Amino acid sequence: MKSTLLLGISPCPNDTFIYQNLIEGTVKTPCSVSAEFADVQTLNEKVLDGALDMAKVSAAVFPLVKDRYRLLKSGGAMGYGCGPLLLSSAGENFSDEFPVYLPGKQTTAAALFNFWIKKKFPSVGGAGVSYMRFDELYRELCGKKIKQGVTIHEHRFTWQRDGLHLISDLGAFWEQELKVPIPLGCTVIKKDLGEELANEMDLCVQKSLQLAWERKEPVNEFIRKLAQIDDDAVILQHIKMFVNGYSMNMGDEGEKALQVLTTFLHSESLSAP
């Protein structure tokens, strides 16, 4: 059995809330765990390169790595009312005169934006898209250096305070159109590590999450020091929105949502020039 498992997660509160007890060793694991923290697009790229043993990645990247990685039932981010937001620094209307900035090519946010624009503005298609790390994207929006961008993570809770304008709640649009939860993220583990280890790590993630839920104070120093924002109230909002029953076990409904997303992504690849 592997002696040390390299785990990649984001520094965002939902991930650190779920995985803290596993990373710190409160939960006994079959092998030691070494954590690497990175933004979700970087994690996606590392998994595409096979550089991580286990990782929390965008649900949209799973179809690209499913031959090498196995899907875990726990540790993901799915649900209702928790999707990315298309925001503007200039007004509430979408404009095809300006590029839309996305937080990574393989992110679920990018997939949901593509779904929205093809439904609402079929003549526009996927034109005018650029990519930027999620935290930089938000800063550029707030500084009015870019006009339109899709925001994720904690910034879902701060855009009104920061004077931005909502063009569309992309998650709500997905829900209304497809009647399934929003499959934002999922946890994967290398297939060559074996099914037994995968099952054991699934249980370890569930135990880590259960201990976090039982804690008197949800936001602690481990979560606080890694978060992109220093407001405990926003951090707690983030945890409550993105950590739920699907994080413990995605179940049949979560698997269906992943399949719906995979079908859309497949149709996208077929229609690409």
- The last residue of a domain, from among 144, 178, 212: 178
Q: In sequence order, what E strands does 32-81 have? A: 32-37, 54-58, 69-71, 77-79
Number of C-beta neighbours around residue 203 at 10 A: 15
Q: Which helix (H) or strand (E) covers residue 92, if one does?
A: none
The pairing of beta strand 4-9 with beta strand 54-58: parallel
Domain of residue 66 covers 4-79+183-271
With vertex at residue 216, the alpha carbon angle to CA 153 and CA 248, rounded to the nearest 5 degrees, is 50
The string of pLDDT tens digits covering residues 218-242 is 999 999 999 877 889 989 999 999 9
Question: In this predicted structure, what is the pLDDT of residue 4?
Answer: 93
The string of pLDDT tens digits covering residues 13-52 is 999 999 999 999 999 999 999 999 999 999 999 999 999 9
Question: In this predicted structure, what is the pLDDT of residue 271?
Answer: 52
> Tokens in use for 44?
């996606």
Number of C-beta neighbours around residue 152 at 10 A: 29
94 and 138, same domain (yes or no): yes
- The last residue of a domain, from among 136, 159, 178: 178
Q: Which residues of 246-271 are buried (b: 16+ CB within 10 A; e: fewer)?
A: bbbbbeeebebbbebbbebbeeeeee
Question: In this predicted structure, what is the pLDDT of residue 267?
Answer: 84
Q: The CATH number of the domain where 50 resides is what?
A: 3.40.190.10
Residues in the chain, pLDDT under 70: 1, 124-127, 269-273
- Active-site residues, by number, are 153
Question: In this predicted structure, what is the pLDDT of residue 272?
Answer: 47
